[in-house]
Protein backbone atom coordinates (compact mmCIF):
# COMPACT_ATOMS: atom_id res chain seq x y z
CA UNK A 1 0.00 0.00 0.00
CA UNK A 2 1.31 3.42 -0.90
CA UNK A 3 2.17 5.71 1.97
CA UNK A 4 -0.15 8.37 0.52
CA UNK A 5 -3.15 6.04 0.82
CA UNK A 6 -3.04 5.90 4.61
CA UNK A 7 -2.53 8.01 7.70
CA UNK A 8 -1.12 6.54 10.90
CA UNK A 9 -0.61 7.73 14.44
CA UNK A 10 -3.19 8.86 16.99
CA UNK A 11 -3.06 12.63 16.41
CA UNK A 12 -2.79 12.48 12.59
CA UNK A 13 -5.79 10.13 12.40
CA UNK A 14 -7.75 12.30 14.83
CA UNK A 15 -6.98 15.37 12.73
CA UNK A 16 -7.96 13.53 9.53
CA UNK A 17 -11.37 12.80 11.06
CA UNK A 18 -11.81 16.35 12.29
CA UNK A 19 -10.94 17.84 8.89
CA UNK A 20 -13.17 15.51 6.85
CA UNK A 21 -10.59 13.41 5.01
CA UNK A 22 -12.01 10.70 2.73
CA UNK A 23 -11.42 7.69 4.97
CA UNK A 24 -12.33 4.18 3.87
CA UNK A 25 -11.72 2.39 7.17
CA UNK A 26 -9.83 2.81 10.45
CA UNK A 27 -7.82 -0.06 11.93
CA UNK A 28 -7.31 0.10 15.71
CA UNK A 29 -5.05 -2.06 17.86
CA UNK A 30 -7.15 -4.41 20.00
CA UNK A 31 -5.41 -3.54 23.26
CA UNK A 32 -5.15 0.23 22.85
CA UNK A 33 -7.06 2.56 25.20
CA UNK A 34 -7.29 6.25 26.03
CA UNK A 35 -9.42 9.33 25.61
CA UNK A 36 -8.07 10.10 22.13
CA UNK A 37 -8.91 6.60 20.93
CA UNK A 38 -12.42 6.94 22.31
CA UNK A 39 -12.76 10.27 20.51
CA UNK A 40 -11.63 8.64 17.26
CA UNK A 41 -14.25 5.91 17.70
CA UNK A 42 -17.00 8.45 18.37
CA UNK A 43 -16.01 10.58 15.37
CA UNK A 44 -15.96 7.45 13.21
CA UNK A 45 -19.47 6.55 14.30
CA UNK A 46 -20.74 10.09 13.76
CA UNK A 47 -19.25 10.22 10.25
CA UNK A 48 -20.37 6.72 9.24
CA UNK A 49 -16.77 5.51 8.88
CA UNK A 50 -16.18 1.81 9.63
CA UNK A 51 -13.52 0.86 12.17
CA UNK A 52 -12.09 -2.50 13.13
CA UNK A 53 -10.06 -3.73 16.11
CA UNK A 54 -7.11 -5.78 14.89
CA UNK A 55 -3.92 -7.40 16.22
CA UNK A 56 -0.59 -5.59 15.93
CA UNK A 57 0.51 -7.95 13.15
CA UNK A 58 -2.29 -6.67 10.94
CA UNK A 59 -1.18 -3.05 11.43
CA UNK A 60 2.44 -3.97 10.76
CA UNK A 61 1.43 -5.31 7.35
CA UNK A 62 0.63 -1.74 6.31
CA UNK A 63 3.68 0.01 7.75
CA UNK A 64 6.74 -0.75 9.84
CA UNK A 65 6.82 2.85 11.07
CA UNK A 66 5.51 3.86 14.50
CA UNK A 67 1.77 3.68 13.84
CA UNK A 68 0.91 4.00 17.56
CA UNK A 69 -1.74 1.32 17.17
CA UNK A 70 -3.95 3.09 14.64
CA UNK A 71 -4.10 3.42 10.85
CA UNK A 72 -6.67 5.20 8.68
CA UNK A 73 -6.98 3.83 5.15
CA UNK A 74 -7.86 6.61 2.73
CA UNK A 75 -10.22 6.40 -0.21
CA UNK A 76 -9.26 7.90 -3.54
CA UNK A 77 -12.79 9.30 -3.97
CA UNK A 78 -15.29 11.28 -1.93
CA UNK A 79 -18.10 9.30 -0.34
CA UNK A 80 -21.59 10.75 -0.02
CA UNK A 81 -24.15 10.14 2.69
CA UNK A 82 -27.17 8.54 1.00
CA UNK A 83 -29.65 10.72 2.92
CA UNK A 84 -27.87 13.86 1.74
CA UNK A 85 -27.38 12.66 -1.81
CA UNK A 86 -30.92 11.56 -2.68
CA UNK A 87 -32.59 15.00 -2.24
CA UNK A 88 -29.87 16.47 -4.46
CA UNK A 89 -30.56 13.82 -7.13
CA UNK A 90 -34.31 14.47 -6.97
CA UNK A 91 -33.71 18.18 -7.45
CA UNK A 92 -31.29 17.77 -10.34
CA UNK A 93 -32.71 14.72 -12.14
CA UNK A 94 -36.29 14.12 -11.06
CA UNK A 95 -36.40 10.33 -11.26
CA UNK A 96 -32.83 9.23 -10.50
CA UNK A 97 -31.43 5.75 -11.11
CA UNK A 98 -29.13 4.39 -8.40
CA UNK A 99 -26.96 1.31 -8.84
CA UNK A 100 -26.77 -0.64 -5.59
CA UNK A 101 -23.61 -2.76 -5.26
CA UNK A 102 -24.36 -5.23 -2.49
CA UNK A 103 -21.12 -6.73 -1.19
CA UNK A 104 -18.92 -6.43 -4.28
CA UNK A 105 -15.33 -6.64 -3.05
CA UNK A 106 -13.19 -6.78 -6.20
CA UNK A 107 -12.03 -3.22 -6.84
CA UNK A 108 -11.64 -3.82 -10.56
CA UNK A 109 -15.24 -5.00 -10.76
CA UNK A 110 -16.33 -1.87 -8.91
CA UNK A 111 -14.35 0.23 -11.36
CA UNK A 112 -15.80 -1.53 -14.39
CA UNK A 113 -19.34 -1.21 -13.00
CA UNK A 114 -18.82 2.51 -12.42
CA UNK A 115 -17.60 2.88 -16.00
CA UNK A 116 -20.75 1.24 -17.38
CA UNK A 117 -22.91 3.23 -14.97
CA UNK A 118 -21.48 6.52 -16.18
CA UNK A 119 -21.80 5.49 -19.83
CA UNK A 120 -25.48 4.51 -19.50
CA UNK A 121 -26.72 7.40 -17.39
CA UNK A 122 -26.88 5.87 -13.91
CA UNK A 123 -27.24 8.75 -11.45
CA UNK A 124 -25.20 7.37 -8.52
CA UNK A 125 -23.87 4.20 -6.89
CA UNK A 126 -24.53 3.01 -3.33
CA UNK A 127 -22.41 0.46 -1.43
CA UNK A 128 -22.08 -0.82 2.14
CA UNK A 129 -19.15 0.64 4.08
CA UNK A 130 -18.16 -2.83 5.31
CA UNK A 131 -17.87 -5.86 3.08
CA UNK A 132 -17.21 -3.76 -0.01
CA UNK A 133 -14.00 -3.14 -1.94
CA UNK A 134 -11.87 -0.11 -1.12
CA UNK A 135 -11.78 2.51 -3.86
CA UNK A 136 -8.14 2.55 -4.91
CA UNK A 137 -6.19 3.92 -7.85
CA UNK A 138 -6.71 0.51 -9.51
CA UNK A 139 -10.48 0.92 -9.18
CA UNK A 140 -10.32 4.42 -10.67
CA UNK A 141 -8.14 3.15 -13.53
CA UNK A 142 -10.60 0.29 -14.20
CA UNK A 143 -13.42 2.82 -14.26
CA UNK A 144 -11.61 4.98 -16.84
CA UNK A 145 -12.12 7.87 -14.44
CA UNK A 146 -15.87 7.28 -13.99
CA UNK A 147 -15.46 6.97 -10.21
CA UNK A 148 -14.35 10.60 -10.22
CA UNK A 149 -17.52 11.61 -12.09
CA UNK A 150 -20.39 9.55 -10.67
CA UNK A 151 -21.49 10.11 -7.05
CA UNK A 152 -20.64 7.21 -4.74
CA UNK A 153 -22.66 6.86 -1.53
CA UNK A 154 -21.96 4.40 1.23
CA UNK A 155 -23.18 3.62 4.73
CA UNK A 156 -22.17 1.49 7.71
CA UNK A 157 -25.90 0.91 8.27
CA UNK A 158 -26.47 -0.22 4.70
CA UNK A 159 -29.89 -1.79 5.25
CA UNK A 160 -31.09 1.37 6.98
CA UNK A 161 -30.09 3.24 3.84
CA UNK A 162 -32.09 0.75 1.78
CA UNK A 163 -35.14 1.44 3.95
CA UNK A 164 -34.59 5.17 3.39
CA UNK A 165 -34.63 4.63 -0.39
CA UNK A 166 -37.85 2.63 -0.09
CA UNK A 167 -39.41 5.45 1.95
CA UNK A 168 -38.34 7.91 -0.77
CA UNK A 169 -40.41 6.01 -3.32
CA UNK A 170 -37.68 4.13 -5.21
CA UNK A 171 -38.66 0.92 -6.97
CA UNK A 172 -36.14 -1.90 -6.57
CA UNK A 173 -35.07 -3.92 -9.58
CA UNK A 174 -32.91 -6.91 -8.62
CA UNK A 175 -30.62 -8.84 -10.94
CA UNK A 176 -30.93 -12.40 -9.67
CA UNK A 177 -30.95 -15.96 -10.96
CA UNK A 178 -34.24 -16.31 -9.04
CA UNK A 179 -35.86 -13.64 -11.21
CA UNK A 180 -38.94 -14.32 -13.31
CA UNK A 181 -39.99 -10.76 -14.21
CA UNK A 182 -39.29 -8.81 -17.40
CA UNK A 183 -38.38 -5.23 -18.21
CA UNK A 184 -42.02 -4.53 -19.01
CA UNK A 185 -42.71 -4.91 -15.27
CA UNK A 186 -40.54 -1.88 -14.47
CA UNK A 187 -42.41 1.39 -13.95
CA UNK A 188 -40.88 4.17 -16.03
CA UNK A 189 -42.25 7.04 -13.96
CA UNK A 190 -40.53 6.20 -10.67
CA UNK A 191 -37.02 6.60 -9.29
CA UNK A 192 -35.26 3.25 -9.54
CA UNK A 193 -32.57 1.23 -7.78
CA UNK A 194 -30.83 -1.41 -9.90
CA UNK A 195 -29.39 -4.01 -7.52
CA UNK A 196 -26.33 -6.18 -8.12
CA UNK A 197 -25.14 -8.74 -5.58
CA UNK A 198 -21.74 -10.25 -4.91
CA UNK A 199 -20.67 -13.19 -7.04
CA UNK A 200 -20.40 -15.45 -4.00
CA UNK A 201 -23.41 -14.48 -1.91
CA UNK A 202 -25.71 -12.73 -4.36
CA UNK A 203 -28.16 -10.09 -3.12
CA UNK A 204 -28.84 -9.92 0.62
CA UNK A 205 -32.18 -11.67 1.35
CA UNK A 206 -33.59 -8.61 3.14
CA UNK A 207 -32.87 -6.47 0.07
CA UNK A 208 -34.25 -9.11 -2.28
CA UNK A 209 -37.48 -9.15 -0.27
CA UNK A 210 -37.92 -5.43 -0.91
CA UNK A 211 -37.45 -5.82 -4.66
CA UNK A 212 -40.45 -4.90 -6.80
CA UNK A 213 -39.03 -6.57 -9.91
CA UNK A 214 -36.61 -9.52 -10.13
CA UNK A 215 -34.91 -9.98 -13.49
CA UNK A 216 -32.74 -12.84 -14.71
CA UNK A 217 -30.54 -12.65 -17.79
CA UNK A 218 -31.32 -15.67 -19.96
CA UNK A 219 -28.17 -17.38 -21.23
CA UNK A 220 -27.67 -20.30 -23.62
CA UNK A 221 -24.01 -21.15 -22.99
CA UNK A 222 -22.72 -24.01 -20.88
CA UNK A 223 -21.21 -21.72 -18.24
CA UNK A 224 -24.44 -19.73 -17.74
CA UNK A 225 -22.71 -17.32 -15.39
CA UNK A 226 -21.44 -13.78 -15.90
CA UNK A 227 -18.90 -11.67 -14.08
CA UNK A 228 -20.83 -9.11 -12.04
CA UNK A 229 -19.31 -6.16 -13.92
CA UNK A 230 -20.37 -7.69 -17.26
CA UNK A 231 -23.88 -8.30 -15.91
CA UNK A 232 -23.97 -4.69 -14.70
CA UNK A 233 -23.09 -3.37 -18.14
CA UNK A 234 -25.89 -5.41 -19.69
CA UNK A 235 -28.56 -4.43 -17.15
CA UNK A 236 -27.60 -0.74 -17.31
CA UNK A 237 -27.77 -0.78 -21.10
CA UNK A 238 -31.08 -2.67 -21.24
CA UNK A 239 -32.61 -0.37 -18.64
CA UNK A 240 -31.51 2.67 -20.64
CA UNK A 241 -33.05 1.21 -23.79
CA UNK A 242 -36.28 0.36 -21.95
CA UNK A 243 -36.38 3.79 -20.33
CA UNK A 244 -35.76 5.80 -23.50
* Spatial separation of the C-alpha atoms in residues 17 and 67, rounded to whole Å: 16
- Number of Cα atoms under 13 Å in the Cβ half of residue 76: 22
> pLDDT tens digits for 31-77?
998 999 999 999 999 888 999 999 999 999 998 899 999 999 988 88
Closest Cα to residue 217, out of 171, 181, 167, 186?
A: 181
Q: Please give the helix or strand (H or E) that residue 14 lies within, else none.
A: helix 10-18
pLDDT tops 80 at residue 244: no
* Spatial separation of the C-alpha atoms in residues 161 and 106, rounded to whole Å: 22
Give the number of other CB atoms < 10 A from CB of residue 237.
13
Output 186 or 27, whichever has higher pLDDT: 27
CB 153 within 8 A of CB 126: yes
Instruction: Write down the CATH superfamily of domain 79-243.
Output: SPOUT methyltransferase, trefoil knot domain (3.40.1280.10)
- Domain covering 3-74: architecture: 2-Layer Sandwich (3.30)
Residues with Cβ < 8 Å from 11, sequence gap 6 or more?
Answer: 36
> pLDDT tens digits for 163-217?
999 999 999 999 988 788 888 888 888 999 999 998 788 899 999 999 999 998 8
* Spatial separation of the C-alpha atoms in residues 149 and 145, rounded to whole Å: 7
* Spatial separation of the C-alpha atoms in residues 53 and 72, rounded to whole Å: 12
Residues of the chain with CATH 3.40.1280.10: 79-243
Give the neighbor-by-neighbor strand order of the sheet with 124-128: 79-80, 152-155, 124-128, 97-102, 192-197, 171-175, 213-215
> pLDDT tens digits for 109-158?
999 999 999 999 999 999 998 888 888 788 888 899 999 999 999 999 99
| 237-244 average pLDDT score | 82
| 220-230 average pLDDT score | 80
pTM equals 0.85
CB 195 within 8 A of CB 203: yes
Residues of the chain with CATH 3.30.1330.30: 3-74
Q: What is the DSSP string of 130-172?
A: SSS----HHHHHHTTTGGGTS-EEEESSHHHHHHHHHHTT-EE
Please tell me the predicted confidence (pLDDT) of residue 224: 64
Amino acid sequence: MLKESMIYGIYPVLEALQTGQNIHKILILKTIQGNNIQQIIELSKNNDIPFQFVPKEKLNQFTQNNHQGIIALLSAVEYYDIENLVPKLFEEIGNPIIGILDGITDVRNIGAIARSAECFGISALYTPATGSGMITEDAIKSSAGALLRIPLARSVQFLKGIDYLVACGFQFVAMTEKGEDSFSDIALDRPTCLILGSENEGIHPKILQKSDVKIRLNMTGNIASLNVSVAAGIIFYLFQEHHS
